[in-house]
Amino acid sequence: MTPNQETNILGKFTSVLGLLGAALFFAGWIYRWSYFYFFQLELNTLDLPAQSFIIVPLQIFLGDNWAIFKSAIAFFVAAIAIQATLWLIKIVTDTVVSINQSLLTRIISATQHKRSWIAKQLKSLAEFSSGQLHSVEFLRSLVNEIVIVSWVLIAIFWLARWQGIADARRDAGQNSTLPVVALITPEEKFAVGRKLDDIFADPPLKGYRIIGDRGLFEDLQGREDNDISNSKQPRVWRLLLERGGWIYLFRALSPNAKSNEIPFVLAIQQSDKGHIIIRSPELSKTNSP
């Protein structure tokens, strides 16, 4: 193998790796955007590490047998769509080129023996345009690449979006993979929560202000602890994310929640006096008072 061939192979391999990395990053961004949008969080405000967007997509395409099957079907459909689109583009461009070539030939023939200034300009324009038609193959190649990339991105977008929403719905419900949480923090900067020494007493609200829907706060107050005494509507708090000095908790959806229902999310700023977070994959065996 000659050095030029080795260089060419390495160049193509590098190009493929670059395209693969860009595709994985795009898939990871769409997945996380869909996932956190379900919890009413804006992805750009979470300051997630860029490298994590490349690792996350592996579960979109290879997470389980169903994910692999969906990915295979999606890319098979995309391949068919690419072929159909390229076929239509070829028919349209061939027709346009044929019509233009015929028209330009007629113009050149009609102005061949004319000596007027207008005739000369029309002939010059026709000859120039006829020469430019040779660049159609280059333009067609460029269009073909745009079509291929566009359909691949569309397939990746919908796969990532569907998987992000599906995983968010799973984590918001009873089969969540997110940990059950117990957050213990000083009460000076915390307007909600149960007192450890008196679980039935509401925290004092003197000095706090509110803007917006007071009903949201009232719906939260008195329901800050877990309660599984009612199996039809259990109350379980889970940890969604810790990022950028904020702790995001949410109240899991009940088993009979509607398909369009989304969880109650609580964002808590980390205290400079310290706090305790206890995580657990499942509920404790101790019953709430």
Residues 13 and 153 reside in one and the same domain: yes
| Mean pLDDT (whole number) for 174-195 | 80
* Sheet strands (E) in the chain: 180-184, 237-243, 246-251, 264-269, 276-280
- Specify the pLDDT at position 30: 93
Residues 270 and 196 reside in one and the same domain: yes
Residues 29 and 111 reside in one and the same domain: yes
- Specify the pLDDT at position 273: 67
Asked whether residue 230 is assigned to any structural domain, the reply reads yes
Is a pLDDT exceeding 70 seen at residue 131?
no
Asked whether residue 199 is assigned to any structural domain, the reply reads yes
Give yes or no for a contact between 240 and 181, defined as CB atoms under 8 angstroms apart.
no
Residues 167 and 184 reside in one and the same domain: no
Q: How far apart are CA 236 and CA 180, in angstroms?
A: 7
Residues 242 and 130 reside in one and the same domain: no
- How many other β-carbons are positioned within 10 Å of the β-carbon of residue 217? 14
Final residue belonging to a domain, choices 172, 202, 219: 172
Residues 64 and 127 reside in one and the same domain: yes
Residues 168 and 185 reside in one and the same domain: no
Asked whether residue 286 is assigned to any structural domain, the reply reads no
Asked whether residue 287 is assigned to any structural domain, the reply reads no
User: In the chain, what's the furthest Cα-to-Cα distance?
Assistant: 106
Residues 107 and 78 reside in one and the same domain: yes
Final residue belonging to a domain, choices 137, 172, 207: 172
Final residue belonging to a domain, choices 147, 172, 197: 172
Asked whether residue 289 is assigned to any structural domain, the reply reads no
Residues 118 and 229 reside in one and the same domain: no
| Mean pLDDT (whole number) for 205-225 | 77
Asked whether residue 285 is assigned to any structural domain, the reply reads no
Asked whether residue 195 is assigned to any structural domain, the reply reads yes
Between the CA of residue 140 and those of 5, 85, 100, 129, 285, what are the distances in Å?
A: 27, 12, 16, 17, 67
Residues 205 and 266 reside in one and the same domain: yes
Q: Which domain holds residue 260?
A: 180-280
Residues 148 and 251 reside in one and the same domain: no
The structural domain count of the chain equals 2
Long-range CB contact pairs, 139-144, < 8 A, 24+: 140/89, 140/90, 140/93, 143/89, 144/86, 144/89
| Mean pLDDT (whole number) for 146-163 | 90
| Least confident among 55-69, 141-155, 193-207, 247-261 | 193-207
Give yes or no for a contact between 281 and 180, defined as CB atoms under 8 angstroms apart.
yes
Is a pLDDT exceeding 80 seen at residue 255?
yes
- Specify the pLDDT at position 134: 53
* Number of H-type helices and E-type strands within the chain: 7, 5
Is a pLDDT exceeding 60 seen at residue 113?
no
Is a pLDDT exceeding 60 seen at residue 167?
yes
- Specify the pLDDT at position 237: 87
Asked whether residue 271 is assigned to any structural domain, the reply reads yes
Residues 119 and 249 reside in one and the same domain: no
Q: What is the mean pLDDT of the chain?
A: 77
